[in-house]
C-alpha cells in the first residue's frame, strides 16, 4: 500500500475512534442521568417511606391511648404519595399503619384529625375517596402475601379486615353516628369505595385469605377477624350471583369454615337463602365439584354436611339436592380411597380415609381434626333421623313415599346412584328380557350414601354404623321397607318366607351393583351391631329393637338367604368375605349365637337346612366341593350337631389310623401330677402327642400303682390334670362366674364394675358428654397407671351420644379380647398342634366349648389365663385330647347322668341280667340314693371319666358292662359255666360266701368300662360298698 492509501486508512480509523468515543460519552452521560434520577427517586421514595413510617410508628395496634393523630391534610398528602410509590408485599407494614391511623381517626372528636370530615368537604372528598379506594384495592393483593407465620403479620392481617369493615358502612363513625340523613349519603359512597372487592380477582384473593385463616385447628387470626372477612365475602356474593361459583369453590372449600362462624354470620347465611342457592347451583353444575382439588373436596363435604345439620328446613325441602351434593363430593373422595386388601407401600395414611392414594397437604393437615368433626355430623342423631324419616316416610302405608320412585326424580336418582359408585340400574346382564330393575328410590340412595361413607372412611366403620342404628325405630322402618320391597317382587314358595324379601335379595347376588343392595347391607350391618350389645332384658322383655316375632322372621330370612346363596352357587370363596353375603352372614351368626344362649325361635330344627338333607351336604363336604366346604366353614349349624360330631369322630379315627402306634410311657406321681406331666409331655412332638400315651401312676408311698393302662389310666390322668390346672389355688387360670357370650356380655363377669359402667353409658338418657369420657382406658400395671387409646388419639376424643355405642364396643373388645390376645394365640397354637384346624369349621364357638368341657358348672365359667405362653401351649393339647376321647368315652355331656340311656346300653355278664335282683338294687341306689355328684363319681369309678359321652352311652367304647364275680379281684378267672348259672339263679358259692360281704372294695376295670359286682345278699351292703368305692377316688388303685 502506498503512502496516500495508508494516510487515508489512518484518517478513517481515527474518525471511527472519535465517533466511538463520542458515542461512549453520550451513553455515559445518559447512564449517569438515569442513575442520578434513579437514586434521586429512590431517595425520594425512601424519604416518603421513612417519613410516613416515622409519623405512623406509634400506630402498631388499634389502641387509642398514647397516640397522637396527624392532621387530615398531612395524612392525605403523605398517603397519596405513598400509594403512588408502594411496593407489595414490602410495604405491607406501612400500609397497615396507615390503615390503623385512619381507623382510629374516625373516632376522633377533632374535625382536623377525623377522616370522616374529608367526605363532608367538597374540596377534599375527591382526593380522600381516591385514597380510600386505592387502599381498599391494595388490601386483597396484600392479603395474598401474608402467611400468618409472624405476630406482626397477623396484626396487619386483622387491621386490613378491620379497615374493610369500617369503610363498608359509616354507621359506626363518630361524627355521623346520630345523623341518619348523612349516613345514607355516606353509605352510598362507601359502597362505591368498596366496589373493587366485588371484582372476581379481588373476591378470589379474599376467599384465599379466608382459606389460609381457617387452615389450622384454631384460626390463625382472631375469631372476630375471620367472621368479619366472611361477612364481607357473603355481602358481595348475596348481591352478585356471578360470584356464587367462586364462593363454592373458594369459600365452601375452606377447612371447617362453618365451624368457625359465629351465630350472627350463621343466621345471616342460612336466613338469606344462600345455602339453598349453593345446593341449586351444585345440582345444576356437577362439574364444579369434579373440578375441585381432591384435598379440598373433603372440606366442601364437611361444610355442606355441617350446614345441613344446622338448616333443618332447607334439608327437608331440598333433601334430594342436599343428598346429591353429599354423594357427589363423597364420590370424589372415594376415587382415591384404598379399599381393603389393596394397600401398598405407595399409599399414604389419611386420618379420615385410612389408606389413601394422595399425600396429605401439609398446609391442611392440622385442620383435618375440625373437618372430621363436621363429617361425624353425617351420622349424628339429627341428620340420620332427618334423612330416614323423609326417605322411609309412610313405609307402613300401602304405597310408601320413600319406596315408590317419583317419575321426575328417576333420572336424578340414577345419576346420583352412579356418582355414589353404583352400576347400571336396569336391564342387568343376569336378568331376563322382561325382568327390569326397579329404579333407585330415595331410601336406596340414602342407604347407598352411608354405604359409600363406610367404604370410603373404613377406619370409622363402627362409629358410622353406631350412629345410623342409634334410633331403634329406624331399623324397624328399614326392615318394613325391605319387606315391602321384597313383596313387590316374586315370592318364595315357602309360606313362612312369603312376607320376606328372600327371593329379591337372592336375585341381588347376581346384580351386586343394584341400587337395592345398599338398604339390605346397611340394615344387616346396623342390626348386627345393635343386637350384639343388647342384654337379655332389652332383647327378650323390652323387645328392642324388634319384637321377638319379627326377630324370628329376620333370623329365618338371614339363615335361608345364606344357605341358598352358597348352595345355589351365587357365592364362592372369593366373594364370601365381601358385599351383601358378608353383611347378612354376619347378622345371621349374631342371631344364631344369641339364640344358642337363650332361644327366641323355640324350634330345635329352626337353624337346620330346610330343603336339603344333611347327608347330601355332608357328602358335598367330604367330596371337597366348593359349596360343601364353604357351607361347613361358614354355616355348619345347618347340619345337626350329632351328625357333625359323628363326622368329627370319623376324621379323628382316620387321623389316628395314619399315625404309627408307637406308645410313649410317662411316669407321674399323684402328688406332682401337673409338674410331672408338663415336664414329660411338653417335650413330645406333635406326632407323639397324637399317638398312644401310657401313664404309670406313682402313689403316695412312691410305689408304682397296680394296673395296666389301656386308655383308662390315661383318661384319668387327663381329667385329674385338667381339674388341677383350673384349681384357683394353682393360680394358672383365674375363674369367674358367668356364661360364655359375646364380648360385651362376657365383660359382665370378667369385669363387673366396667360392665355396669358401660351399661350405664349405653342407657344414659342425658348428654353423655357431661360424663367427660374419652376413647381411652387407664390400666394399672405394676403400680403404674398407663393410659391406653382405644382408637388413635382416643384420649382426646370425647364420648358423645352419637358415638357412645362405638365406645361400648371398643371398650368391651379391648377388655375381653385385646388384653388376652397373647394367651389366646398360645392356646390356639397348642390346640392346633393335635387337631387339624379345618375340623374346627364343623362347630360354632359355643359348640366347640360344649365338646371340650360339656354342660357342667365348670364349663359355664370364664377362665382368664394367668400362666405363661409356653404353659398354655402345653395345656391346650391336653384339653383337646380330653375332648376327643370325650366324643367316645364320656368327657362332655349334661350336668347329670341320663340313667335311662345308660341302662339301655349296658351289657351284663356272669349270669346278670336286667331283671336280676342285684341289678335292680344297683339302679335303684344310683337313681334314688345317690346325689347327682355321686352319680358322676360312680361313672368315673367304672369308666375313669365323670361325664357321659356327648352323643350318649351308645357311643361309649367299649360298652359299659357289669359282670358277676364270686372271688376277690386278684383271684378272678373270668366267667365259667358254673359261675354264670349261679349268678343267673342268684346262688352263692359256699366257699366264698362268708368272705364276700367283708371285702373292702369293689373291683372295676376302667380300661374296659367294666364293673365287677359281687353277688351281695343285702341292698344296704351294696350301697355301703358302692359309696366307699366311688368316694375313694384317686389312689384307690383300680385295675
Domain boundaries, the chain: 1-51, 380-639, 664-725+823-889, 743-816, 899-1032
Q: Is 856 helix (H, G, I), strand (E, B) or coil?
A: coil
pLDDT value at 1038 more than 60: no
Report the pLDDT value the prediction gives residue 710, as an integer from 0 to 100. 65
Mean residue pLDDT of the chain comes to 81
pLDDT value at 886 more than 50: no
Question: Distance between CA 687 and CA 666 in Å, rounded?
Answer: 16
E strand or H helix at 938, and its extent? helix 932-943
Residues 6+ apart with CB under 8 A from 785: 778, 779
Report the pLDDT value the prediction gives residue 109, as an integer from 0 to 100. 87
Question: Distance between CA 522 and CA 319 in Å, rounded?
Answer: 20
CB atoms within 10 A of CB 399: 8
Q: Which long-range contacts (CB under 8 A, 24 or more apart) does 776-779 make?
A: 777/811, 777/814, 777/815
Pick the CATH number of 899-1032 from 3.30.2410.10, 3.40.640.10, 3.90.1170.50, 3.40.50.300: 3.30.2410.10
Nearest to 417 by CA among 526, 335, 514: 514
Longest dimension (CA), the chain: 177
Fold designation for 743-816: Hect, E3 ligase catalytic domain (3.30.2160)
Nearest to 610 by CA among 564, 548, 555: 564
- The tally of CA atoms less than 13 A away on the side-chain side of residue 906 is 23
* pLDDT tens track for 314-362: 888 888 889 888 988 888 888 887 776 666 667 887 878 877 888 887 7
Q: Which long-range contacts (CB under 8 A, 24 or more apart) does 607-616 make?
A: 607/559, 607/637, 607/638, 608/637, 608/638, 608/639, 608/640, 609/563, 609/567, 609/638, 609/639, 610/494, 610/560, 610/563, 612/567, 614/638, 614/639, 614/640, 614/643
Angle at 760 between CA 846 and CA 754, to 5 degrees: 60
* pLDDT tens track for 169-184: 998 898 888 888 888 9
Report the pLDDT value the prediction gives residue 489, as an integer from 0 to 100. 54
Q: Which long-range contacts (CB under 8 A, 24 or more apart) does 419-422 make?
A: 419/286, 419/324, 419/327, 419/328, 419/331, 420/327, 420/330, 420/331, 420/445, 420/448, 420/449, 420/452, 421/331, 421/334, 421/448, 421/452, 421/455, 422/448, 422/513, 422/514, 422/515
Report the pLDDT value the prediction gives residue 411, as an integer from 0 to 100. 57
* Average pLDDT for 527-556: 88
Nine-digit cell at 25?
460519552
Whether residue 482 contacts residue 520, with contact meaning beta carbons closer than 8 Å, is answered with yes
Read off φ and ψ for residue 1037, nearest 5 degrees.
60, 60
* Average pLDDT for 121-138: 93
| β-bridge partners, 695 | 666
Whether residue 318 contacts residue 270, with contact meaning beta carbons closer than 8 Å, is answered with no
Report the pLDDT value the prediction gives residue 494, as an integer from 0 to 100. 42
E strand or H helix at 78, and its extent? helix 72-85
State the catalytic residues: 1007
| β-bridge partners, 665 | 694
pLDDT value at 503 more than 60: yes
Distances (CA, A) of 675 to 448, 721, 872, 875: 60, 10, 14, 12
Distances (CA, A) of 758 to 534, 799, 804, 941: 12, 12, 9, 47
Distances (CA, A) of 46 to 80, 86, 91, 185, 340: 15, 10, 11, 38, 63
Sheet with 961-965: list strands edge to edge: 907-909, 961-965, 1010-1014, 1004-1005
Report the pLDDT value the prediction gives residue 859, as an integer from 0 to 100. 39
| β-bridge partners, 185 | none
Question: Distance between CA 16 and CA 105 in Å, rounded?
Answer: 67
* Average pLDDT for 731-748: 55
**Is there a common fold for 743-816 and 899-1032?**
no
Question: Distance between CA 697 and CA 321 in Å, rounded?
Answer: 81
Whether residue 547 contacts residue 600, with contact meaning beta carbons closer than 8 Å, is answered with no
Least confident of 198-207, 631-640, 698-707: 698-707
Report the pLDDT value the prediction gives residue 689, as an integer from 0 to 100. 80
Least confident of 471-480, 540-549, 745-754: 745-754
* Average pLDDT for 28-39: 90
* pLDDT tens track for 421-452: 555 544 433 444 344 556 778 888 889 889 88
Least confident of 428-442, 533-547, 621-635: 428-442
pLDDT value at 533 more than 60: yes
Residues 6+ apart with CB under 8 A from 614: 608, 638, 639, 640, 643
Least confident of 224-238, 407-421, 637-651, 827-841: 407-421
Q: Is 349 helix (H, G, I), strand (E, B) or coil?
A: strand
Percent of the chain whose pLDDT exceeds 90: 27
Q: Based on C-alpha coordinates, what's the Rg of the chain? A: 44
* pLDDT tens track for 359-399: 887 777 788 889 999 999 999 989 999 999 888 887 765 44
* Average pLDDT for 825-849: 80
Report the pLDDT value the prediction gives residue 408, as an integer from 0 to 100. 44
Q: Which of 242-251, 309-318, 960-969 has the highest mean pLDDT?
A: 242-251
Report the pLDDT value the prediction gives residue 420, as an integer from 0 to 100. 58
* pLDDT tens track for 488-500: 754 344 444 444 5
Report the pLDDT value the prediction gives residue 969, as an integer from 0 to 100. 45
* pLDDT tens track for 592-618: 988 988 899 989 899 999 888 989 999
* Average pLDDT for 1020-1028: 90
Least confident of 90-99, 564-573, 978-987: 978-987
Report the pLDDT value the prediction gives residue 521, as an integer from 0 to 100. 92
pLDDT value at 557 more than 60: yes
| β-bridge partners, 753 | none
Amino acid at each position: 500500500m502506498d503512502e496516500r492509501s495508508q494516510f487515508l486508512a489512518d484518517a478513517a480509523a481515527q474518525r471511527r475512534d472519535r465517533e466511538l468515543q463520542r458515542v461512549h460519552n453520550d451513553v455515559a452521560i445518559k447512564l449517569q442521568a438515569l442513575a442520578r434520577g434513579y437514586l434521586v427517586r429512590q431517595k425520594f421514595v425512601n424519604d416518603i417511606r421513612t417519613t410516613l413510617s416515622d409519623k405512623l410508628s406509634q400506630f402498631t395496634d388499634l389502641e387509642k391511648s398514647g397516640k397522637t393523630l396527624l392532621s387530615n391534610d398531612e395524612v392525605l398528602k403523605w398517603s397519596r404519595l405513598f400509594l403512588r410509590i408502594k411496593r407489595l408485599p414490602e410495604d405491607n407494614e406501612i400500609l397497615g399503619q396507615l390503615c390503623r391511623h385512619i381507623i382510629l381517626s374516625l373516632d376522633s372528636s377533632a374535625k382536623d384529625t377525623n377522616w370522616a370530615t374529608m367526605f363532608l368537604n367538597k374540596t377534599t372528598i375527591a382526593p380522600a375517596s381516591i385514597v380510600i379506594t386505592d387502599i381498599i384495592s391494595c388490601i386483597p393483593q396484600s392479603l395474598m402475601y401474608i402467611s400468618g407465620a409472624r405476630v406482626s403479620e397477623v396484626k396487619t392481617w386483622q387491621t386490613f379486615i378491620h379497615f374493610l369493615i369500617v369503610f363498608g358502612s359509616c354507621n359506626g363513625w363518630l361524627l355521623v353516628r346520630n345523623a341518619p340523613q348523612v349516613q345514607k349519603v355516606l353509605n352510598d359512597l362507601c359502597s362505591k369505595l368498596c366496589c373493587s372487592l366485588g371484582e372476581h380477582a379481588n373476591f378470589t384473593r379474599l376467599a384465599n385469605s379466608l382459606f389460609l385463616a381457617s387452615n389450622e385447628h384454631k384460626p390463625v387470626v382472631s375469631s372476630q377477624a375471620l367472621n368479619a372477612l366472611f361477612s364481607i365475602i357473603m355481602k358481595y356474593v348475596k348481591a352478585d350471583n356471578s360470584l356464587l361459583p367462586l364462593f363454592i369453590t373458594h369459600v365452601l372449600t375452606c377447612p371447617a369454615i362453618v365451624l368457625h362462624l359465629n351465630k350472627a354470620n350463621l343466621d345471616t347465611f342460612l336466613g338469606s337463602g344462600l345455602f339453598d342457592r349453593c345446593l341449586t347451583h351444585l345440582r345444576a353444575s356437577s362439574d364444579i365439584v369434579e373440578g375441585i382439588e381432591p384435598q379440598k373436596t373433603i372440606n366442601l363435604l364437611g361444610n355442606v354436611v355441617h350446614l345441613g345439620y344446622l338448616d333443618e328446613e332447607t334439608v327437608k325441602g331440598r333433601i334430594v339436592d342436599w343428598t346429591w351434593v353429599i354423594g357427589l363430593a363423597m364420590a370424589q373422595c372415594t376415587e382415591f380411597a384404598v379399599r381393603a386388601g389393596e394397600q401398598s407401600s405407595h399409599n399414604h395414611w389419611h386420618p379420615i380415609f385410612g389408606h389413601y392414594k394422595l399425600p396429605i397437604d401439609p398446609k391442611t393437615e392440622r385442620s383435618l381434626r375440625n373437618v372430621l368433626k363436621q363429617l361425624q355430623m353425617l351420622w349424628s342423631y339429627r341428620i340420620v333421623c332427618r334423612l330416614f324419616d323423609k326417605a322411609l316416610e309412610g313405609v307402613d302405608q300401602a304405597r310408601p313415599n320413600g319406596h315408590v320412585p317419583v317419575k321426575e326424580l328417576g333420572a336424578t336418582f340414577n345419576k346420583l346412584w352412579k356418582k355414589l359408585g353404583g352400576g347400571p340400574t336396569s336391564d342387568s346382564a343376569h336378568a331376563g328380557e322382561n325382568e327390569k330393575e326397579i329404579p333407585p328410590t330415595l331410601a336406596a340412595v340414602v342407604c347407598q350414601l352411608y354405604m359409600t361413607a363406610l367404604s370410603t372412611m373404613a377406619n370409622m366403620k363402627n362409629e358410622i354404623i353406631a350412629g345410623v342404628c342409634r334410633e331403634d325405630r329406624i331399623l324397624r322402618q328399614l326392615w318394613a321397607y325391605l319387606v315391602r320391597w321384597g313383596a313387590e317382587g316374586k315370592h318364595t314358595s315357602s309360606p313362612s318366607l312369603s312376607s320376606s324379601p328372600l327371593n329379591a335379595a337372592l336375585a341381588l347376588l347376581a346384580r351386586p351393583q343394584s341400587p337395592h343392595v345398599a338398604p339390605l347391607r346397611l340394615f344387616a350391618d346396623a342390626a348386627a351391631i345393635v343386637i350384639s350389645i343388647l342384654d337379655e332384658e332389652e332383647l327378650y322383655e323390652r323387645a328392642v329393637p324388634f319384637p321377638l316375632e319379627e326377630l324370628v322372621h329376620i333370623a329365618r330370612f338371614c339363615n335361608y338367604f345364606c344357605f341358598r346363596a352358597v348352595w345355589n352357587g351365587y357365592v364362592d370363596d372369593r366373594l364370601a368375605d365381601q358385599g351383601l353375603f358378608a353383611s347378612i352372614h354376619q347378622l345371621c351368626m349374631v342371631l344364631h349365637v344369641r339364640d344358642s344362649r337363650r332361644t327366641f325361635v323355640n324350634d330345635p330344627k329352626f337353624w337346620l337346612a330346610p330343603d336339603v338333607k344333611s347327608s347330601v351336604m355332608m357328602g358335598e363336604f367330604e367330596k371337597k366341593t366348593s359349596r360343601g366346604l364353604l357351607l361347613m366353614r361358614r354355616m355348619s349349624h345347618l347340619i345337626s350337631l350329632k351328625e357333625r360330631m359323628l363326622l368329627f369322630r370319623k376324621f379323628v379315627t382316620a387321623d389316628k389310623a395314619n399315625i404309627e402306634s408307637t406308645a410313649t410311657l410317662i411316669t407321674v406321681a399323684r402328688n406332682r401330677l401337673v409338674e410331672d406331666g408338663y415336664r414329660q409331655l411338653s417335650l413330645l412332638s406333635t406326632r407323639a402327642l397324637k399317638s398312644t400315651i401310657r401313664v404309670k401312676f406313682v402313689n403316695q408311698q412312691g410305689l408304682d400303682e397296680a394296673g395296666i393302662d389301656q386308655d383308662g389310666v390315661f383318661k384319668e390322668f387327663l381329667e385329674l390334670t385338667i381339674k388341677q390346672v383350673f384349681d384357683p389355688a394353682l393360680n394358672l387360670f383365674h375363674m369367674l362366674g358367668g356364661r360364655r357370650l359375646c364380648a360385651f356380655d362376657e365383660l359382665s363377669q370378667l369385669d363387673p364394675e366396667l360392665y355396669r359402667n358401660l351399661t350405664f353409658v349405653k342407657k344414659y338418657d342425658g348428654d353423655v358428654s357431661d360424663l367427660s369420657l374419652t376413647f381411652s382406658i387407664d390400666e394399672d400395671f405394676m403400680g403404674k397407671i398407663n393410659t391406653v387409646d382405644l382408637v388413635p388419639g382416643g384420649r382426646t376424643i370425647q364420648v358423645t351420644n352419637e358415638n357412645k355405642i362405638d365406645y361400648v364396643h371398643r371398650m368391651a373388645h379391648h377388655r375381653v379380647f385385646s388384653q388376652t390376645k397373647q394367651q389366646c394365640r398360645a392356646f390356639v397354637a397348642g390346640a392346633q398342634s393335635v387337631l387339624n384346624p379345618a375340623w374346627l369349621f364343623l362347630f360354632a364357638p359355643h359348640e366347640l366349648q360344649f365338646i371340650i368341657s360339656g354342660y357342667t358348672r365348670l364349663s359355664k365359667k370364664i377362665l382368664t389365663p394367668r400362666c405363661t405362653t409356653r404353659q398354655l401351649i402345653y395345656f391346650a393339647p391336653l384339653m383337646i385330647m380330653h375332648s376327643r376321647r370325650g366324643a367316645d368315652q364320656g368327657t362332655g355331656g349334661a350336668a347329670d347322668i341320663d340313667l335311662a340311656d345308660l341302662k339301655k346300653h349296658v351289657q351284663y355278664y356272669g349270669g346278670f341280667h336286667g331283671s336280676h335282683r342285684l341289678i335292680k338294687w344297683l339302679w335303684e341306689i344310683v337313681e334314688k340314693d345317690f346325689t347327682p355328684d355321686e352319680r358322676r363319681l360312680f361313672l368315673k369309678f367304672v369308666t375313669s371319666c365323670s361325664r357321659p359321652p356327648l352323643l350318649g352311652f351308645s357311643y361309649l367304647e367299649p360298652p359299659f358292662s357289669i359282670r358277676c364275680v364270686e372271688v376277690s379281684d386278684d383271684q378272678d378267672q373270668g366267667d365259667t359255666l358254673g359261675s354264670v348259672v349261679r349268678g343267673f339263679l342268684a346262688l352263692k358259692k359256699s366257699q366264698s360266701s362268708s368272705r364276700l360281704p367283708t371285702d373292702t372294695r369293689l373291683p372295676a376295670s376302667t380300661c374296659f368300662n367294666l364293673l365287677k359286682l359281687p353277688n351281695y345278699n343285702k341292698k344296704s351292703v351294696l350301697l355301703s360298698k358302692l359309696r366307699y368305692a366311688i368316694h375313694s377316688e384317686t389312689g384307690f388303685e383300680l385295675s
